[in-house]
Amino acid sequence: MDKQRDFVLRTIEERGIKFVRLWFTDVVGTLKSVAIAPAEVEGAFAEGLGFDGSAIEGLTRAFESDLLAHPDPTTFQILPWRGEVDPTARMFCDITTPDGQPSVSDPRNVLKRTLEKAADRGFTFYTHPEIEFYLLKSSQFGPEGPEPVDSAGYFDNVPGGTAHDFRRRSVRMLEDLGISVEFSHHEAGPGQNEIDLRYADALTTADNIMTFRTVIKEVAIEQGVYATFMPKPLSGYPGSGMHTHMSLFEGDTNAFFEAGAQYQLSKIGRQFIAGLLRHAPEITAVTNQFVNSYKRLWGGDEAPSFVCWGHNNRSALVRVPLYKPNKGQSSRVEYRAIDSAANPYLSFSLMLAAGLKGIEEGYELPPEAENNVWALSDAERRALGYNQLPASLDHAISLMEDSELVAETLGEQVFNYVLLNKRQEWHAYRAQVTPYELRTNLEIL
C-alpha cells in the first residue's frame, strides 16, 4: 500500500494533476465526489478527509454524523474527459468512523465484509456485467414521451449513427481508465446499447460500474445526447438490465467447473445457483430498487419474472451459459434480474451471500427450465414449481423485511434505511396515480 501511495503522489507531481476527486456512493448507489488539491492528498492518505455523513443518504444519523473518507490508492486514475487543462484524477474511498472503524453503512464496506466471508471459505468472487442503457435525444420530452437517438435494433450496424460513435468514444475512454471492455453493440430497443466489462474481482467490478456510469454520462454530454440507466424508460420496448456473470475461484481453480458433469457444472456451482433461486425474491428490493424496475421485470422482452434456471435459456432467472470446450476457467452462472440502476456494491453482496448460503446449507438444485417460461400458462408454471419474482416494489419490500439473509448481509443500519427509503418511494408513487391505474395497469407497478 505504501508503494501505491508513493506511485500516486509521484504521478500527481509528474503529470501536473490539479484536482483529485475522492469518490464513494450513498446507500442508493448515487456517486458522491469531493475534490481536493494535490497538496492535500498525502494528508488524506494518512488521516482521511472528514465530512458530514448525515448529509449523505443512509450513511449515518445526525447524532453520529462525523465520518472520514480514506482514498484507496489502488483505484487512482486520471480522468480522460478532463483533458490537458487542469488535469483531474480520481480515487474511490473507504468510509470510516473517527475512531478508525469501517462505517457499517458504507456500501463498499458492505461488499468487503461479504467478500471476506467468502475468502474465509477459500473463495474469490468474480463478476462480469453486461450493462444496458438508452440514448435519448434529450432529457426533455413531450406528449410522445422520450425520443431515442435511432430506431435500430439488436446488433444493427448504423453507419455514421450516433450510437456507433458513442460506443467507440465510450470504450476508448473506459480503456484509458484501465477498465477492459469485452463487447459493445446496439441492443434490441431503439437507442438502446450494451457494453460488457471483462471479468474482475467483485470489488473492482463494482468500482468499474460506478466509473462506467460516469463515463457514459460524460460522453453523452460531450455528444449532445442524453444517457439513461432507467430500467424501463420506454413502454413497449425492452428494459435495461445488467445481466451479471459470476464464478467462485479456489486459488487458480474455478470452483464452478467439473469435467464430465452436466454442463460441466460442479456441485458447488449447482448449490450456488440453488441459493440464488431460493433467496432471489427477498434480495429483489436491492437488485431492482426502483418502482420503475418492476416495469422491466414484468414487461416481457426476456426480462425474468419467474424463479427458475436453465442451460442457455434466456427466459430463466439464472442461466448457465454454453460451455466452451477446454475452457473450464470460464464456467459461470448468469443472474438476469439485476437492472442497470442497481447499487452494485449492495447487489453483489446479496447475490454472493445467497450463493454462499446455498453452498453452506447444501441446497438441492431443482430441475431446469427447458422451455420458454414466458410462453407457459400460469397453471403450467405452478405445476413446475416456478415461483414469481415480486410484482412490485411494495411486494419486494415485504419479502425483504422478513429476510434474515438480507438483514445479516447489509447490516442493521443499511437494512433499516433501505426499508424506510423504499417504502417512502412506493407511497410517494401511489399518491401520484389514480386507483384505476393501480388496478388495471400492471405496467406501472
Residue with cell 445457483: 273
Q: Is 130 annotated as a binding residue?
A: yes
Q: How many separate helices (H) and strands (E) can be counted in the chain?
A: 13, 18
Q: Is 128 annotated as a binding residue?
A: no
Residue with cell 449513427: 161
CB 198 within 8 A of CB 128: yes
Q: Is 302 annotated as a binding residue?
A: yes
Q: Is 182 annotated as a binding residue?
A: yes
Cell matching residue 380: 403450467
Q: Is 246 annotated as a binding residue?
A: yes
Instruction: Spell 186-211 as b/e; 16+ CB within 10 A means b.
Output: bbbbbbbbbbbbebbebbbbbbbbbb
Q: Is 245 annotated as a binding residue?
A: yes
Q: Is 61 annotated as a binding residue?
A: no
Q: Is 164 annotated as a binding residue?
A: no
Measure the N-to-C terminal CA separation of the chain; round to a whole number of Å.
48
Q: Is 90 annotated as a binding residue?
A: no
Q: Is 334 annotated as a binding residue?
A: yes
**Euclidean distance between CA atoms 35 and 57, whole angstroms:** 19
The per-residue DSSP string of 10-26 comes to HHHHHTT--EEEEEEE-
309-311 and 318-320 strand pairing: parallel
**Euclidean distance between CA atoms 94 and 69, whole angstroms:** 6
Q: Is 132 annotated as a binding residue?
A: yes
Q: Is 243 annotated as a binding residue?
A: yes
Q: Which of 101, 125, 98 is nearest to 111 (CA)?
A: 125
Residues flagged as binding site for Mg(2+): 130, 132, 187, 194, 243, 334
Annotated binding site for ATP: 182, 245-247, 314
Q: Residues comprising the binding site for L-glutamate? A: 296, 302, 314, 336
Residues in binding site: 130, 132, 182, 187, 194, 243, 245-247, 296, 302, 314, 334, 336
